[in-house]
Homo-oligomer: A and B are copies of this chain.
């Protein structure tokens, strides 16, 4: 019998605050980090990898949460676990004592997400397929069984989800071929970090267009005059035909958002992202009404399917920005993708950080093949940082993600990257401490 033998966690941190990569209105000095988990098995060479992305302090708490919640896995039979990832994900999310610490939000829920993603990585490796292709070729009935419809049924029921998936069965093979040949559109966030100078913004914006991107995004929200100036620089650099999005990272109150967005509207925005608190469904809905037709996007901090349900019910979003590692893993993201389809709202995943591009490309490609059936209005965020630390890094060419082909969810960090960046004792941090 093949079993899960152990769960190991690693506190891995990259000192990104030294260069202001990743700086925005709410996060001036992030150290991009991963609370990283490896599921070990009795099968030689077979492991599963997952992580929660954090921005530094507290990554040790996230590791502790993953370790506590995953303690139920060692000794479990691999076939039973991987053959029932719907039930296992519900077991992890709904353990009543752990659930109290959320419920279904924050550290404990992200821990469940990291473990569930690691289980999917394990299953996909075992089946020798990249995760997106594994998901895209599952029978619709099995996909529906993977989804937790609890507290969703006023908006989406299993029969609705099944109908969405069945409708998209014709053409699935053709879309798989298309994904393999053409990949998935990306947009570039790297040019627009708030800590970058105007010159660097302009230079990187031009470079993004030269690299084939048809959309870029810049950070806003610290100072309105600065934002108008930076949006003008960006728009001039990319020209009228490349799309320009802005991201406020929750910086504004509702009325402030409305006024600020009105000042930026002249730059023909693809969307305004996270204009206010990620909890504020009603606030997003009001902002969207009052700044129409400027599109509103959010989701990277929406903590579970029940929040996405409400954002969609309230007509608060034009773009669903799911995150691969904020919610309860692949299973909850299936629910979110199906909700978005039911409300005819495009999914443009959040990425960046450490490894979020690697994970989320699988969800977007699954969405294209099996749920939405289209690339229209769709793109995945792309940030050109830290990919070199992954065993199977994303490949973005001519502004498009290439479809991953290696088995798994592309979540595995290189052993050397872990060793070098382990906090606080890895050489990157112990050297910093003695400077």
Contacts and interface: CB of A to CB of B under 8 A. Distances in A.
Contact of A151 (B61, B283, B307): B283
A10 B256 CA distance: 43
Given A68-B58, A96-B28, A281-B310, A151 B276 contact: yes
Interface stretch (A103-111, A207-215, A370-378, A384-392): A103-111
A38 to B, nearest CB: 19
A96 B26 contact: yes
Contacts of A56: 97, 100
Contacts of A313: 282
B65 A100 contact: no
A60 interface: yes
Interface stretch (A82-90, A176-184, A190-198, A298-306): A298-306
A253 B155 CA distance: 10
Contact of A96 (B55, B255, B278): B55
Nearest to A107: B107
Given A57-B97, A58-B68, A306-B279, A107 B106 contact: yes
A278 B57 contact: no
Interface of A: 26-31, 54-58, 60-62, 64-65, 68-69, 95-110, 150-154, 250, 253-256, 276-283, 286, 301, 303-304, 306-307, 309-310, 313-314
Given A28-B96, A54-B97, 17 more contacts: A29-B97, A55-B96, A55-B100, A58-B65, A58-B97, A62-B101, A101-B106, A103-B301, A104-B279, A105-B303, A106-B106, A154-B255, A154-B286, A279-B304, A280-B306, A280-B310, A281-B281
